[in-house]
A and B are shown apart, each in its own frame.
Chain A
């Protein structure tokens, strides 16, 4: 199977059976699902220069049980299904997952009173494993928790996952199975003709019999290009602080706030890379590119973090980032098929989208079939094995057999993250190679550590530039 990944030049002059707009975690999951049907010709188009560059790269990286979804919604069902699917897929593909569990910590009587209601909600969502903890049990589980917590709800299934590897695994499998990935391709116009869609893009025209809008933050814009005004995406910014790996022993679970009338609060959570997250803020904005952090946002997070885990504030901050949620003002996904136009919108996919991604893909594939698309015979895709970025599983520098076969895996370049020259070399030779140092970081963790390049930045850049030449 020839691999087609393009980033420049005109697009192929052919009519694809399906074009997916947006190579985030949802678009990539759908591409992978459609790639199971070899008769279909599928293109995945992405405005940016890499997969997973939007909402999918900047989130809280949690694999949700869906215990607190709004019961009866499509989101609740797809998260529940997606949780099982992605859990199994991660195990077979080398995507790091740690089943750390979550604690919803109650800091006042009102929050404490809300916990049994959340248990009921979880039950209605088909999740039966929550348990109330008294303060003694809570502090035994989280000895570094700030003083004054009155109790907690334990949700053992909540887990942490690597969102970058997930998106990349889907895209890699899709591309290897024949999906064409076209990067740097921004869709500017869509016209519907009797036999399909004619898309105008920043790289020229593209023809599609069926179109799927998985454009995330821009899903409403793409919808309007086709004459649909079903919803508006309001970017809701979430800023997060990533603390030094030396803080990792301070916390064992995902520490969730109890949702109250005042909205969702901030969480403290370990990451699969061995850091600790504090965030996110929630700021409704009107600029879909406003992924910057603000002084007020960071100060507010630190104030909240000081209460939850006081010792965290003594640690160094390794990274700061901000993501935008695709808020649509509705408590559910906005997935809609328009069979008369051969078009499916996958909008309003919120923070649960990472967990639900495989279930969303299966659901949308069904909707496409409902528009008259003949999927043809199916097959299982070739399994994929992703490089492990997680601390809970052996990384190359911890694998003697690997280093014995290739000393490059024992030659560390990025010291804070313990990334070897072999891993950087491998990343540059993958199916979907990084086009920037940021892309390399998401594939290897190089330059993602506490020194942010003080020690390794120039050396990593040298390897990247030489390796791409």
Chain B
């Protein structure tokens, strides 16, 4: 009943990272490259981001168009895309996903990863010489954010809202409050307006919007949408359908905004279920699999790329990582040894996380991506190992906001003592 197959490379997830990895691998002659996607269409989250900002400066694209181009490129290169197929687990006795040491797989080191999947054709077991995990990220829903109150209808995340409006044309209510004021929040507000509904307000706990000033100003002035800063949604109200949200300002004042829809935006978390089920070491900062510069995870033969590593970077960054991972996969298929776990790379507050977050003698990454939890003006990042300063860098001359990309060059990575202790990134 269960079909068993072998492929050269199995990519899990047909979003930007997975598709870019598959395209490059297939084009480079990696053999049978298969991408499994649980949704009915390939393309990942950009499928329902019906707005611009994708592609390149010279060739700007909308999300759906970008998703289509990546899909076509992977197929053209010869990768096999199988949609409507869900990867369930790793075959063999899985480790305790609640913790425990990373395991090299049930058959010991050198064993090939084997995954179980299911689709309309029934169960499958797929053995691969290499696996690329590209399972992406999701927004924390209201429940995970512990927002109290009743449990009415009309509570969305951006992901659900965009699909409801752009893929299914569903009614999403008349008056929406958007929780968050970062890029994705403004995209959600645009989706609300595209559905013919009114945006009551954007609410952010931060002192200002975390998007370009021009964009924030245009939404406030051209569309008359107020931005409530230093404020949180403290309670949802209403029975049956949402009737309002209670917002609380940092100074303790509260007010009720009348609305029938609320959209929780941002606050992304890696969709790391498969990584955990496979016993991959997770990075405590990102909560995604820990990877080195060449995107090796802790489990031999298993790579990871895209927003499962860092929730959340732009689609282009994810696609770039997918292509980068492909290079390391090709080396591995050609016989390059799997690196030892390497040294942990960690950040100190107010920095939240960094990726990649392991340092091995393998290739350093193109660059590191980080996030801060507080606004940083003209920050200087310092990298230490055992108290020794390896590098310091001013990544931006302006202000770096939470939820906005912050990057760090990787040229210092060669100076790390492989026998030394962990490497730390802090603010000067």
Interface residues of A (CB under 8 A from B): 144, 242, 246-250, 289, 291-295, 297-298, 311, 316-321, 397-398, 400-401, 403-404, 407-408, 410-412, 415, 418, 437, 450-455, 457-459, 461-462, 465
Which residues from B are CB-within-8-Å of A459?
Answer: 163, 168
Residue of B nearest to A317 (CB): B144
Set A297, A311, A403, A451: member contacting B141, Cβ < 8 A: A451
Is B138's CB under 8 angstroms from A401's CB?
Answer: no
B276 touches A246 (CB 8 A): yes
> CA A418 – CA B269 in complex, angstroms?
20
Cβ of B97 and Cβ of A294 under 8 Å apart? no
> Can you name 4 extra interface pairs (CB under 8 A) apart from A144-B98, A400-B122, A454-B159?
A408-B120, A418-B88, A453-B156, A455-B160
Q: Is B103 an interface residue when CB atoms closer than 8 A count as contact? A: no
B405 contacts A by Cβ under 8 Å: no
20 A-B pairs in the complex with CB atoms less than 8 angstroms apart: A246-B273, A246-B276, A292-B149, A294-B148, A320-B146, A397-B88, A400-B122, A400-B123, A403-B122, A418-B86, A451-B141, A451-B271, A452-B141, A452-B142, A454-B138, A454-B160, A455-B39, A457-B163, A457-B164, A458-B160
Let me know if B139 is at the binding interface, CB within 8 A.
Answer: yes
- Contact between chains at B138 and A404 (CB < 8 Å): no
Q: Are B150 and A403 in contact, CB atoms less than 8 angstroms apart? A: no
B143 interface residue (CB < 8 Å to A): yes
Nearest chain B residue, comparing its CB with the CB of A454: B159
**In this complex, what residue of B is CB-closest to A245?**
B273
Q: Per a CB cutoff under 8 Å, which of B97, B151, B159, B235 touches A321?
A: B151
Complex Cα spacing A461 to B161, Å? 12
B146 touches which one: A250, A289, A298, A451 (CB < 8 A)? A298
B144/A316 in contact, CB under 8 A: yes
What is the CA–CA distance of A412 and B123 in the complex, to the nearest angstrom?
Answer: 12
Closest to B146 in A: A298
Give Cα A291 to B236, complex, Å.
Answer: 12
Whether B138 pairs with A415 at a CB distance below 8 angstroms is no
**A249–B118 touching, CB < 8 Å:** no
Contact present for B148 and A412 (CB under 8 Å): no
Does B97 lie within 8 Å of A249, measured CB to CB?
Answer: yes
Establish whether residues A410 and B122, one from each chain, have CB atoms under 8 Å apart when the complex forms.
yes
Contact of B97 among A246, A319, A457 (CB under 8 A): A246
Please name the residue on chain A nearest to B99 by beta carbon: A311
The residue in chain A whose Cβ has the minimal distance to the Cβ of B119 is A410
By a CB distance below 8 angstroms, the chain A residues around B273 are 246
Tell yes or no: B140 within 8 A of A by CB.
Answer: yes
Q: Is the CB of B168 within 8 A of A404?
A: no
Which B residues lie within 8 Å of A400 (CB)?
Answer: 1-2, 122-123
**Chain A hits for B39, CB < 8 A:** 455
Q: Tell me the smallest distance from the CB of A231 to a CB of chain B, in Å.
A: 26
Given A316-B144, A452-B157, verify A401-B164 contact (CB < 8 Å).
Answer: no
Of A320, A418, A458, which is within 8 A of B164 by CB?
A458
B234 at the interface (CB under 8 A from A): yes
> Which residues of B lie under 8 Å from residue A297 when comparing CB positions?
148
- Verify if B296 is at the interface (C-beta below 8 Å from A): no
Q: Verify B142–A401 contact, CB threshold 8 A.
A: no
Q: Which residues of chain B have C-beta atoms less than 8 A from A407's C-beta?
A: 120-122
Indicate which residue in A242, A291, A294, A453 contacts B160 across the interface (CB closer than 8 Å).
A453
CA of A412 to CA of B149 in the docked complex: distance in angstroms?
31
Nearest B-chain residue to A299, judged by Cβ: B146
CB contacts under 8 Å to A, within B363-402, are none
| Interface residue? B361 (CB, 8 A) | no
- Expressed in whole angstroms, the Cα–Cα distance for A311 and B273 within the complex equals 17
Chain A residues with CB below 8 A from B239, complex form: 289
Q: Which residue of chain A is the closest to B95 with respect to CB atoms?
A: A249
Q: How far in angstroms is the closest Cβ of chain B from A442?
A: 13
Q: Give the complex CA separation of A412 and B117 in angstroms.
A: 11
Q: What's the least CB distance linking A164 to chain B, in Å?
A: 15
Contact B118 A397 (CB under 8 A): yes
- Chain B, residue nearest A461 (CB): B170
Contact indicator B98/A250 (Cβ below 8 Å): yes
Q: A289-B239, A457-B164, A459-B163 are in contact. Are A247 and B98 (CB under 8 A)?
A: yes
Q: Which residue of B lies closest to A315 (CB)?
A: B98
Contact, CB under 8 Å: B118 / A403? yes
Q: Is the CB of B38 within 8 A of A412?
A: yes
Tell me whether B122 and A404 are in contact (CB under 8 A): yes
Shortest Cβ distance from residue A435 to the other chain B in the assembled complex, whole angstroms? 12
Complex CA gap A400/B164 in Å reads 32
Which residues of chain B come closer than 8 Å to A412, judged between CB atoms? 38, 86, 118
- Whole-angstrom distance between the alpha carbons of A293 and B234 in the complex? 11
**A410→B121 contact, CB < 8 A:** yes
- A231 CA to B271 CA in the complex, in Å? 50
Q: Is B167 part of the contact surface with A, judged by Cβ < 8 Å?
A: yes
* Closest 10 pairs (CB-CB, A-B): A452-B141, A407-B120, A400-B1, A458-B163, A457-B160, A454-B159, A458-B164, A249-B98, A403-B122, A453-B160
User: Across the interface, which residues of A come within 8 angstroms of B123, CB to CB?
Assistant: 398, 400, 403, 410
Chain B residues within an 8 Å CB radius of A458: 160, 163-164, 167-168, 170
User: Complex Cα distance A355/B95, Å?
Assistant: 35
Max chain B CB contacts within 10 Å: which of A247, A311, A319? Answer: A319
Is B72 part of the binding interface, using a Cβ–Cβ cutoff of 8 Å?
A: no
Complex Cα gap A233–B13 (Å): 52
Chain B residues positioned under 8 Å from A298 (CB to CB) = 146, 148
